[in-house]
Every structure is written in structure tokens, then in C-alpha cells.
Amino acid sequence: MSTPLRLGIAGLGTVGVGTVRIIQRQAALLTARTGRDITISAVSARSRDKDRGVRLGDYAWEDDAVALATRDDVDVFVELIGGDEGPAKAAVEAAIGAGKHVVTANKALLAMHGQALAEAAEAAGVALRYEAAVAGGIPVIKALTEGLAGNEITRVMGVMNGTCNYILTRMQSAGLDYDTVFKECEELGYLEADPTLDVGGIDAGHKLAILAAIAFGTRVDYDALTIEGIERITIEDIEQAADMGYRIKLLGVAQNSGRGFEARMTPCLVPESSPLGQLEGPTNMVVLEGDSVGQIVLRGAGAGEGPTASAVMADVCDIARGLDLPVFGVPASSLKTVQASTQDTPSAYYLRMELFDKPGALARIASVMGESGISIDRMRQYGHSSERAPVLIVTHKTSKDALDAAIAAMPATGVLASDPVALRIETL
């Protein structure tokens, strides 16, 4: 039998405790599958005395994550602290510098510092693995780097934040407004300490930046993404989209077009009958498209103790087996700088606005859109009041630049009573 693979686990929150539980419960299975015993040498967290419901007395304790990362009896440093700076970054850098393999669930760290960390890990000859950083228990990193290695990836898309998907599907199923469901999520503990990480699209954007780097051989570049959250989505949007056969999702899309690299994490309309349209509750789904395989759909739990710890252990097991892969699927030195698209691929758009109830108001808006080269597919008024008329417009395919120009010109018409909400209609 080979020597044991010894872990140091920093961060004993939900995922850290879940990881400890798997190692304690599945020790024999892990050994059978990897050919090595997988053990824990030491752990670290902010509070030593907290009852976490799992046996920790057999392990050494380090108050400092950096000290844990550099211990002589640690072969793999498991970083489950979180955050793109501070102790998480310092400890990962220290582990790599000390010649330790690293497993992390930290999408923010990789989205912001992935290139530098990948170069450092590959120069040191150690693994940097992060399956748990994207889509929880869904093995999407392994799918891209291994299962689809023979494909040129043409598009990556997905619902990558379970909280946002819960909010949007709950609004639809219960007929509740955004603020009511947001408060419900707070009470259920679904939101991050800073809720904008969830509802603002930031958390999901970190994940998309990582997937795009693997899929297209580019340096991780979070700043190249267009990010928009779900805060402006109303129950009226949900209901009107459903009436047209669509569902609203916070959807990440990354693709290479003739215009360059496109990546966005924004609310979109998707066909109700599509796999993404049918996705309910706090579940994640990633759709991958390759030139040989076509389209594949991966669906599963995007967060939680068990699913995320399962992904952590998948990486640990690969290290135990001796699997040696570049961090982003190809050597970090060969990753290309993102060449952002000069213009998004044309698409149909959904527009909602309120107009003052004046004669010819609709005609003025239609005229502005026509002057921007936008053709209208459908137009509808609903819920008319004595002073304002809510209006819904669906365009034919148009560019985002043309749409932005039309929206910028609308206030000059004198009939616009609210800022327009524009949502892309994504084809699958």
C-alpha cells in the first residue's frame, strides 16, 4: 500500500465539515478507489471551541491558515475559507510555495487571481484543483478538461446561482413579488452575507469566468464579463414572459464569435420547454456545446454541504491517483488574453416600460426604435391605469448597441414614465 495522502483543511464551515464527514465515513471506499489512505493531519478555523457536529479531536489544530498550509505533515492543502484576498489567498500562495497540492472551493479567488496562481502551481509542479468552485456537485470542470478534451467548445451557458433560480421560480410558482421572495430567502439562510454577491450576479459571474477560461483557452478575466443581477425583475416580467412561452433565468453565456469573445451573466428569457426553462428551485444547470459532441446538459445541486464536499473529494481523489493536469486544461503560459467582442451576437429582446397615457405615445416609441434600426415583433399594453400604460415590446433580432441607442433616445419623446427593462431572449 502507498503512503497516505495527508490533508490540511482550512475552513470548517458547511463545506469543510462536509469534507471531514466524507473522509471519516468513506475511508475504506476512498482507499479502494485511489489505492491510498486519505487522512487529515490538521485543521484550521476561526473558532476552536465551536461545536460543529463532527469529531475533530484526532487532528492537530492551527489558528493560522498559512501555518497549516506549510506543515510538514500536509501533502494537500484544502482551502475552504473563501474570499479573493486575505487569509485564503495568502494560505494558497504559501501552500504552493511550500510544494503542497491545493484543492479549493473558492471561485472568487480563482476568478480574480487564477492566472497567477496557475502559473505558480505549474512552475512548482503541484496541482491546483477547484471542481467545487463551480456549480457545487456538478462535475463540470472535469467534463471540460477531461471528458470533452477532444472538442472545440463553441458555447458555455448555464444557471449557476441556486439562490437566484429559487427566487425567480418561486416568484412564478407563488405569484409573489421580488421583495417578498428576497425576504423569504434571508429567513431561510439562502443568501450570502453580502446578498449582492447572489442577486447581483457576482457569484455566478465568478463561475462563468472560470468556465470560459477552460472552454476557450483564455486567461481568467472577470472584468471582461457583462454582469447584471435580478433586482429589477418584477412579477409582471415573470408573468408576461410565461404568457409568451418563456421563463426568466439569471443566465451565464460565454462564446467565441466572429466578433470576438462574448461573456455575460444577465437575466434572460429562455424557452419554457427547454432544459433551462424547466429548471426549478435552487438547482444549477450547465449546458456545454462542442463541435463533436454537440450539446450536453449537466444538472444538479449547486451548493450545500454534501454536493460541494463531494466535489472537493473528487479533486482530492484525483491527486491521490496521481492525475497531473494543467490548472485550466492547457499550460497557463499558453492561455490567451481575452479579445472582447466589439458587438454581441444579435438577439431578440424583451422590453418593458411604462408610458404616460398620451395620444400617439406608442407611435413615438416605435418611431425611436425604427430610427435605431430595430424591428418590432410584438407590442402589447396591459394593466392600463388612468395616467400610465404599461407596455411590453418584443423585438426581432437586433444588436445590443442598437437597443442601447434606442433606449437612450426614449426619454426625449416625452412619453416615457419609467426606465425600460430590457432582457435578452436567448436561443438554445
Euclidean distance between CA atoms 260 and 83, whole angstroms: 30
Of residues 283, 192, 268, the one with CA closest to residue 226:
268
- Contact partners, residue 39, CB within 8 Å, separation at least 6: 4, 5, 6, 7, 23
Strand 246-257 versus strand 260-271 pairing type: antiparallel
Euclidean distance between CA atoms 73 and 70, whole angstroms: 9
Euclidean distance between CA atoms 16 and 26, whole angstroms: 15
Euclidean distance between CA atoms 89 and 10, whole angstroms: 12
Residue 218: DSSP 8-state: B
Instruction: Break the chain down into helix, strand, coil percent, rounded to 5.
Output: 40, 25, 35
SS (H, E, C) 192-205: CCCCHHHHCCHHHH
Q: Which of 100, 142, 207, 400 is catalytic?
A: 207
Of residues 19, 20, 36, the one with CA closest to residue 28:
36
Euclidean distance between CA atoms 157 and 164, whole angstroms: 15
Euclidean distance between CA atoms 289 and 249, whole angstroms: 19
Q: Are 375 and 395 in contact (CB under 8 A)?
A: yes
Active-site residue flag, 207 = yes
Long-range contacts of 177-186 (CB under 8 A, 24+ apart): 177/234, 177/235, 178/230, 178/231, 178/233, 178/234, 178/235
Euclidean distance between CA atoms 228 and 32, whole angstroms: 46
Q: Taking the CB of residue 82, how many other CB atoms lie within 10 A of it?
A: 19
Our measurement of the distance from residue 319's CA atom to the centroid of its chain's CA atoms, rounded to an integer in Å, reads 25
Residue 336: DSSP 8-state: B
- Please list the active-site residues: 207
